[in-house]
Structure 1
Amino acid sequence: MSSVSGTTGEDRTDYTKAESREIRRRSLRLLGSLLSPLKAQVTLAAVVLVVSTAAQVAGPALIAYGINTALPRVIEDGDWMPSAMVTAVYLVAGATGAALIGWYAVISARLTQAVMFDLRRRIFLHTQRLSLEFHESYTSGRIISRQTSDLESIRELLDGGLNQLVSGILYCSFTLVALVLLDWESGVILLAMAVPMYLLMRWFYLRSQVVYRESRVVSAKVIVKFVETMTGIRAVKAFRTEERGDKEFGELASQYRDNNMRAIRLFGTFEPALMVVSAVAVSLVLLWAGWRLIDGVIGIGTLAVVLYVRNFFAPLQEVAFFLNSYQAATAALEKVSGVLEEQPTVPDPDAPVDLWEAKGHVEFRDVTFGYSDDRVILPGFSLDLPAGQTVALVGTTGAGKSTLAKLVSRFYDPSRGAVTLDGVDLRDMHPKDLRRAIVMVTQEAYLFSGTVADNIALGKPDATLDEIKAAARAVGADAFISQLPDGYATDVNKRGGRVSAGQRQLISFARAFLANPAVLILDEATASLDMPSERQVQEALQTLLADRTAIIIAHRLSTVAIADRVLVMEHGRIIEDDHPDALIAGTGKFAQLHAAWKESLV
Structure 2
Amino acid sequence: MSTTTVRPAKGSREPGEQPDPPEAELLPPPSDDEDIPVPPGAARTLLAALLGPHRGRITLAMLVILVQQAALQAGPLLVAITMDRAVPALRDHDSGPLIAVIGAYLGCAALSTVLQRAFIRMSARINQDILLELRGRIFRHAQRLSLDFHERYTSGRITSRATSDVDALRELLSEGLQELLTVFLSVFYISVLLLVMDWRLGLVSLVSFLPLYLITRSFRRRSLRVYRRSRTATATLIVKFTETMNGIRPVQAFRREAANEAAFGVLNRRSATAQAEGFRELARFVGLSRTTANVWVTGVVVLGAFLVTDGSLELGVLTGFVLYLRRLYDPIDQLAMFLNSYQSAAAALEKIAGLLAHEPTVAEPAAPVTLPAGTGTGREVAFRGTRFAYRTGKEVLPAFDLVLPAGRTTAVVGATGAGKSTLAKLLARFYDPTEGRITLDGVDLRDLSTADLRRGVVMVTQESFLFSGTVAENIAIGRPGATREEVEQAARAIGAYDFVAALPEGFDTDVRKRGGRISAGQRQLVAFARALLADPAVLILDEATSSLDVPGEQAVQRAMRTVLAGRTAVIIAHRLSTVEIADRVLVMEQGRIVEDGTPAELIGGTGRFADLHQAWRASLV
**TM-score, normalized by length of structure 2?**
0.93
Q: Does residue 548 of structure 2 align to residue 529 of structure 1?
A: yes
Q: Deviations over 1:21-62 (max 9, x none)?
A: x54x21011000000000111101110111111111111111
Aligned counterparts of 2:230 and 2:155: Cα–Cα separation in 1: 19
1:367 counterpart SS class: strand
Equivalence map 1:433-582=2 (5 Å): 433-582=452-601
Match of residue 301 from structure 2: 286
Deviation of residue 274 (structure 1)? 2.1
Aligned counterpart in structure 2 of residue 11 of structure 1, from 24, 33, 53: 33
Equivalence map 1:385-424=2 (5 Å): 385-424=404-443
Answer yes or no: is the 8 Å Cα contact 2:418–2:591 preserved in 1.
yes
2:396 counterpart SS class: strand
Amino acid across the alignment from 1:237? Q
Match of residue 121 from structure 2: 106
Answer yes or no: is the 8 Å Cα contact 1:492–1:499 preserved in 2.
yes
Match of residue 152 from structure 1: 167
1:459 counterpart SS class: coil
Q: Per chain length, whose mean CA-contact separation is higher, i.e. which structure has more relative contact order (CA < 8 Å, sep 6+)?
A: 2
Amino acid across the alignment from 2:589? E
Answer yes or no: is the 8 Å Cα contact 2:470–2:508 preserved in 1.
yes
Deviation of residue 349 (structure 1)? 0.8
Amino acid across the alignment from 1:509? F
Q: Does residue 53 of structure 2 align to residue 34 of structure 1?
A: no
Structure 1 vs Structure 2 CA RMSD? 1.6
Amino acid across the alignment from 1:344? P
Unpaired runs of at least 5, structure 1: 1-6
Answer yes or no: is the 8 Å Cα contact 1:393–1:554 preserved in 2.
yes
Aligned counterpart in structure 1 of residue 325 of structure 2, from 285, 309, 313: 309
Answer yes or no: is the 8 Å Cα contact 2:372–2:441 preserved in 1.
no
Aligned counterparts of 2:195 and 2:30: Cα–Cα separation in 1: 52
Aligned counterparts of 2:603 and 2:392: Cα–Cα separation in 1: 36
Match of residue 191 from structure 1: 206
Equivalence map 1:345-360=2 (5 Å): 345-355=361-371, 357-358=373-374, 359-360=378-379
Amino acid across the alignment from 1:183? D
Amino acid across the alignment from 2:207? A
Aligned counterparts of 1:453 and 1:400: Cα–Cα separation in 2: 34
Deviation of residue 65 (structure 1)? 1.3
Deviation of residue 270 (structure 1)? 2.1
Match of residue 60 from structure 2: 44
Aligned counterpart in structure 2 of residue 584 of structure 1, from 595, 603, 621: 603
Match of residue 598 from structure 1: 617
Aligned counterparts of 1:590 and 1:237: Cα–Cα separation in 2: 39
2:331 counterpart SS class: helix
Amino acid across the alignment from 1:11? D
1:491 counterpart SS class: coil
Amino acid across the alignment from 2:96? M
Q: Does residue 314 of structure 2 align to residue 299 of structure 1?
A: yes
2:482 counterpart SS class: coil
Match of residue 4 from structure 1: none
Aligned counterpart in structure 1 of residue 229 of structure 2, from 197, 205, 214: 214
Match of residue 267 from structure 1: 282
Q: Does residue 96 of structure 2 align to residue 81 of structure 1?
A: yes
Q: Deviations over 1:50-88 (max 9, x none)?
A: 111111111111111121122212223x22222211111
Aligned counterparts of 1:10 and 1:123: Cα–Cα separation in 2: 21
Aligned counterparts of 1:55 and 1:542: Cα–Cα separation in 2: 82
Q: Deviations over 1:456-476 (max 9, x none)?
A: 000211111111111101111
Amino acid across the alignment from 1:397? T
* Structure in which a larger fraction of residues adopt helix: 1
Aligned counterparts of 2:475 and 2:425: Cα–Cα separation in 1: 22
1:575 counterpart SS class: strand
Aligned counterparts of 2:163 and 2:372: Cα–Cα separation in 1: 41
Aligned counterpart in structure 1 of residue 196 of structure 2, from 167, 181, 198: 181
Unpaired runs of at least 5, structure 2: 1-28
Answer yes or no: is the 8 Å Cα contact 1:355–1:430 preserved in 2.
no
Amino acid across the alignment from 1:59? G
Aligned counterparts of 2:282 and 2:354: Cα–Cα separation in 1: 28
Match of residue 18 from structure 2: none
Aligned counterpart in structure 1 of residue 136 of structure 2, from 118, 121, 124: 121
Aligned counterparts of 2:603 and 2:384: Cα–Cα separation in 1: 28
CA pair 233-357 structure 1, distance change in 2 beyond 3 A: farther
2:472 counterpart SS class: helix
Aligned counterparts of 2:145 and 2:271: Cα–Cα separation in 1: 30
Amino acid across the alignment from 1:170? L
Answer yes or no: is the 8 Å Cα contact 1:400–1:570 preserved in 2.
no
Amino acid across the alignment from 2:562? T
Amino acid across the alignment from 2:250? A
**TM-score, normalized by length of structure 1?**
0.95
Answer yes or no: is the 8 Å Cα contact 1:381–1:573 preserved in 2.
no
Answer yes or no: is the 8 Å Cα contact 1:583–1:591 preserved in 2.
yes
Match of residue 71 from structure 2: 55
Match of residue 4 from structure 2: none
Aligned counterparts of 1:9 and 1:126: Cα–Cα separation in 2: 23
Q: Does residue 163 of structure 2 align to residue 141 of structure 1?
A: no
Amino acid across the alignment from 1:174? Y
Give aligned pairs, total.
589
Answer yes or no: is the 8 Å Cα contact 1:356–1:433 preserved in 2.
no
1:391 counterpart SS class: strand
Aligned counterparts of 1:12 and 1:507: Cα–Cα separation in 2: 38
